[in-house]
Amino acid sequence: MNKKLLLVAIIFVLYEWIHIFYYDVKGIALLVSWSAAVLYVFLIAIYGRSTYNHETVLKYFLAGVGISIIYGLLNFYNMYGTLLANNPTIRFKGAAGDSNYFSMYIMISMFGLLYLINKNNSRWRQSIYPILFIVYGAFGVLSLSRMFLLVVSFLMLLMVIKVFTSLKGNRKILWFSFITFLFIASFFLYFSEEVHSVFSLFFSRFTDFLEDPSGLTSNRNIIAEKYFDFIVADFWSMLVGIGIQEYYIRSGVFLETHNILLELLVVWGLVGFIIFALFICVIFKISASKRKISETSILGWLPIICMAVSYMSINAMSNESFFILVFFAINHIYEFD
């Protein structure tokens, strides 16, 4: 048993329980279910490290996102009768319930595929993975997430630079990049009108709000201002927070923070912020048991970069899936050769 991680797990959950005095009956019930889910993830990390198989985990993740896409397709056609609704407010969200979460899962899947490319020698699989990369990317575009477009564009540029500068000897990644480029070029030529329509719709989400910062950020700046006022109004809340469960209701803002840093300060305060940083550091320490961080590939960092940027505009701590993704993404860094 890893005693460091067990200690962090206990501190992590107990710290949230000290806020129980802020909760009503429903909040206490949510606290119990949240604690069970978080402890489950910690127990996997503590007891499952010796049997952890990252390739298997990644394949299950990709399959899950694929099922989410299929569900989203059926639901989208049932509601609108078409995949292209030609409306910037109608966004594809798979089974994630929210387009921004869905686009984050898509980004993790796309860059997680690089791990499978790097592990497999089958030329057939190395031809299929680029198609999967493009298909997932296409549905990411249909989410109309501005975050998706900016993050994927930047990270793909970073990937290409990395591949053609320091990975010249890695034929698998080079082959993947070449096949992906050919497929994308063919796709754009064959579906030129549809691609133009989608990207016109996509960019309208930027240009329609150039003179309205609140619209461009979907009012996140206004939400942030209200939460900052709430935090500075009470020193005790600033220090220890008000707890995770239904914090958006008890704060009086009635909207979630949509930013992990602000969320941490609201729900756990400055003390909780330090505890969370300790949690992240310990996970890095445990995952690095076999390799030094200086030995890791920049390509292995891409999924956690996607998460870090995504959680600057969506919620984290109140969603149990966040903790599973943290373990997965940090392990990905050290598993990537």
pTM of the complete model: 0.88
CA 216, CA 205: separation in Å to the nearest integer? Answer: 7
180 within 8 A of 133, measured Cβ to Cβ: yes
83 Cβ partners below 8 Å, 6+ apart? 73, 76, 77, 92, 142
Tens-place pLDDT, residues 100-116? 999 999 999 999 998 98
Give the residue among 327, 331, 321, 256 at the shortest CA–CA distance from 37. 321
* pLDDT of 290: 67
* pLDDT of 38: 87
Give the residue among 151, 153, 74, 49 at the shortest CA–CA distance from 105. 151
- Residue that wins the pLDDT comparison between 207 and 136: 136
90 within 8 A of 72, measured Cβ to Cβ: no
What is the three-class DSSP state of 191?
coil
206 Cβ partners below 8 Å, 6+ apart? 146, 216
* pLDDT of 250: 92
Extract the tokens encoding 162: 């990395």
* pLDDT of 299: 86
pLDDT band at 198 (very low <50, low <70, confident <90, very high): confident
* pLDDT of 291: 75
Query: Does pLDDT of 97 surpass 80?
Result: yes
Extract the tokens encoding 303: 């999924």
CA-atom Rg of the chain in angstroms? 21
Question: DSSP readout, 293-322?
Answer: GGGS-GGGGHHHHHHHHHTTTS--TT-THH
* pLDDT of 23: 94
* pLDDT of 167: 57
* pLDDT of 145: 86
Average pLDDT of the chain is: 85
Query: Does pLDDT of 330 surpass 80?
Result: yes
* pLDDT of 4: 74
* pLDDT of 85: 72
